[in-house]
Amino acid sequence: MPRTDAVLADPRLVAAIERLGRPAVKDAVACAQQRVRQGEIEPEDVADVALAALPRHATSLRPVINMTGVLLHTNLGRAPLSPAAVEAVTVAAGATDVEFDLATGARARRGRGAVEALARVVPDAGGVHVVNNNAAALVLAATALAAGREIVISRGELVEIGDGFRIPDLLVSTGARLREVGTTNRTALADYRDVIGPQTGFVLKVHPSNFRVEGFTGSVEVSELTGLGVPVVVDIGSGLLERDPLLPEEPDAASVLRAGADLVTASGDKLLGGPQAGLLLGRRDLVDQLRRHPLARALRVDKLTLAALEATLRGPEPPVRQALHADPILLGERAEALVKALCQAGVDAAAVPAQATVGGGGAPGVRLPSTAVSLPEPLAVPLRRGEPPVVGRVEGGRLLLDLRAVPPERDGEVLEAVLKAAG
Write the pLDDT tens digit of every residue in 109-127.
Answer: 999 999 999 999 999 999 9
SS3 223: helix
pLDDT at 332: 98
Helix (H) or strand (E) segment spanning residue 192 = helix 189-193
E-strand ranges in 25-69 read 65-66
The predicted structure's pLDDT at residue 213: 77
Going by the DSSP 8-state scheme, the letter that residue 378 receives in this structure is G
H/E element, 369: strand 368-376
SS3 85: helix
Q: Can you give the three-state secondary structure of 325-336, one letter per residue?
A: CCCHHHHHHHHH
How many Cβ atoms are within 10 Å of 203's Cβ, its own excluded? 28
User: Which amino acid would we find at residue 300?
Assistant: R
**How far is the C-alpha of 413 from the C-alpha of 417, rounded, in Å?**
6
User: Do the bridges between strand 165-166 and strand 263-267 make them parallel or antiparallel, or are there none, so unpaired?
Assistant: unpaired
Indicate the helix (H) or strand (E) that contains 391: strand 390-391
Predicted local distance difference test score (pLDDT) of residue 135: 94
If one counts every other C-beta atom within 10 angstroms of the C-beta of residue 336, the result is 14
Residue 96 CA: distances (Å) to CA of 310, 311, 377: 14, 15, 49
| Helix/strand/coil for 311 | helix
CA distance 402 to 210: 21
Taking the C-alpha atoms of residue 142 and residue 129, their distance in angstroms, rounded to an integer, is 15
What's the CA gap between 108 and 295, in Å, rounded? Answer: 20
Euclidean distance between the first and the last CA atom of the chain, given in angstroms as a whole number: 36
195, 225 Cβ separation under 8 angstroms: no
Q: How many residues does the chain have?
A: 423
In the predicted model, residues of the chain with pLDDT beneath 50 are none
Q: How far, in Å, CA of 206 to CA of 264, rounded?
A: 10
> pLDDT tens-digit profile of 147-189?
999 999 999 999 887 777 889 999 999 999 999 999 989 999 9
What pTM did the predictor assign?
A: 0.92
Question: Between the CA of residue 110 and those of 9, 272, 343, 414, what are the distances in Å?
Answer: 45, 21, 55, 41
Q: Of all residues in the chain, what percent carry a pLDDT higher than 90?
A: 91
Query: What's the CA gap between 57 and 296, in Å, rounded?
Result: 34
Measure the CA–CA gap between 8 and 5, rounded to whole angstroms.
Answer: 5
**3-class SS at 416?**
helix
Q: What is the structure's pLDDT at 210?
A: 67
Complete DSSP assignment for 241-309: -S--TT-TTS--HHHHHHTT-SEEEEESSSTT-SSS-EEEEE-HHHHHHHHTSHHHHHT---HHHHHHH
Q: Is 106 helix (H, G, I), strand (E, B) or coil?
A: coil
What local confidence, expressed as pLDDT, does residue 363 receive?
82
Q: Do residues 54 and 28 make contact, with C-beta atoms less than 8 angstroms apart?
A: yes
Does residue 232 contact residue 205 with C-beta atoms inside 8 Å?
Answer: yes
